[in-house]
Chains A and B, each alone.
Chain A
């Protein structure tokens, strides 16, 4: 078995053997299974690319008090998980917020997926950039003023928030406020959800957490 990590075109790192004995809460479709088998046959080891980021390392990023902890022993209360391919987005958010005098308050980042959630009111989404660790939900705090969905609905966002969004978009990231169904707290480094890359990353990143595989930082 090769142990050297391989970086795919989409930024995924392949460096572990898949463990098919592990029960995960995601569906592995035939196409994804075939590709993972192929990687395994050509002696690659495959794994997700989730990393732990420590909020203390970001001067202008904080976790809101209701931030949902992942509940995994490897992940400290002051840490959040994100795909290695989206770390640059968080770094840009921090730098831009610092430049504009904003604090970015994170509400949710990586999201675990379960086919059935006990007590759920509605079916959870089966596809989302959060499920692969490519999305961040946040509020921009400008001085004492919070930019909320309610504020964006009334076009009452602050000038710094407008500038922040403009910079993020100019660097290739999507802002949910521009979606046909607006989602103003949402930013993402989109990976096309209809392509194989998404399916592979979905499986690998969900498995990485479900199987307590090592999380980098």
Chain B
């Protein structure tokens, strides 16, 4: 009887932990869920982190211009997301310094590419696009970011 009671208590405890975990993750992992869905849909997901709040800097101006230019012309296949703490915490790669600016390209079943800053050359986006399309030229390869192994948990 006592053993049965303990078992029931244990089960209730486990249930509470599980419910907590689910309700917590459903709140904080919305972006992760969206990214996973977009990857399953075959989209290229670009996660970026801009650690420069000075919108009057030339770096910001160049970055924003190239990013917007590329995004408006490739909006059918590319999804862009600003990194959040949750995303950073769930990036399973030791090569990514989440304290600084970065640009990460993800595509299901394809290599991931990591640029350790914001990109101020539109050719970086073009190179990744060419790589995923299987038509990477010699000139495009020059701008291709490093391939990394990364998983979004």
B111: interface (CB < 8 Å): no
- A117 nearest in chain B by CB position: B68
- Beyond A68-B69, A150-B124, 4 additional contacts (C-beta under 8 Å) are A122-B68, A176-B62, A181-B59, A186-B120
- B119 nearest in chain A by CB position: A149
A139-160 vs B, Cβ < 8 Å mask (1 yes, 0 no): 1000000101110010000000
- A114 nearest in chain B by CB position: B68
| B window 65-123: CB within 8 A of A | 65-69, 71-72, 75, 80, 115-117, 119-123
B36 to chain A, nearest CB (A): 20
Q: Cβ of B122 and Cβ of A107 under 8 Å apart?
A: yes
A149/B120 contact (C-beta < 8 A), A126-B55, A182-B59 known: yes
A43 to chain B, nearest CB (A): 35
Q: Cβ of A185 and Cβ of B64 under 8 Å apart?
A: no
| A window 110-137: CB within 8 A of B | 111, 117-131, 135, 137
Q: Cβ of B59 and Cβ of A121 under 8 Å apart?
A: no
- Per the bound structure, the CA–CA distance linking A181 and B61 in Å amounts to 11
Q: Cβ of A125 and Cβ of B80 under 8 Å apart?
A: no
A8: interface (CB < 8 Å): no
A121/B56 contact (C-beta < 8 A), A66-B123, A149-B120 known: no
Q: Cβ of A146 and Cβ of B142 under 8 Å apart?
A: yes
Q: Cβ of A148 and Cβ of B121 under 8 Å apart?
A: yes
Which A residues touch B63, using CB under 8 A? 122
Q: Is the interface of A mostly helix, strand, loop or mixed?
A: loop
B18: interface (CB < 8 Å): no
Which 8 pairs, one residue from A and one from B, show the smallest C-beta to C-beta distance? A125-B61, A128-B61, A119-B72, A181-B59, A120-B68, A183-B59, A121-B80, A127-B56
Q: Cβ of B143 and Cβ of A150 under 8 Å apart?
A: yes
* B: interface residue count bin: 35 or more
A169-211 vs B, Cβ < 8 Å mask (1 yes, 0 no): 0000000100111111110100001000000000000000000
- Per the bound structure, the CA–CA distance linking A188 and B49 in Å amounts to 26
Q: Cβ of A125 and Cβ of B72 under 8 Å apart?
A: no
| Residue in A118, A148, A185 whose beta carbon sits within 8 Å of that of B62 in the complex | A185
Q: Cβ of A179 and Cβ of B58 under 8 Å apart?
A: yes
User: 28 A-B residue contacts at CB 8 Å?
Assistant: A107-B121, A107-B122, A108-B62, A108-B65, A108-B122, A120-B72, A122-B50, A122-B64, A123-B55, A125-B64, A127-B61, A137-B120, A137-B121, A139-B121, A148-B123, A148-B143, A149-B121, A150-B115, A179-B59, A180-B57, A181-B54, A182-B59, A183-B57, A183-B58, A183-B62, A186-B62, A186-B120, A188-B58
A192 to chain B, nearest CB (A): 12
A64: interface (CB < 8 Å): yes
- Per the bound structure, the CA–CA distance linking A91 and B100 in Å amounts to 37
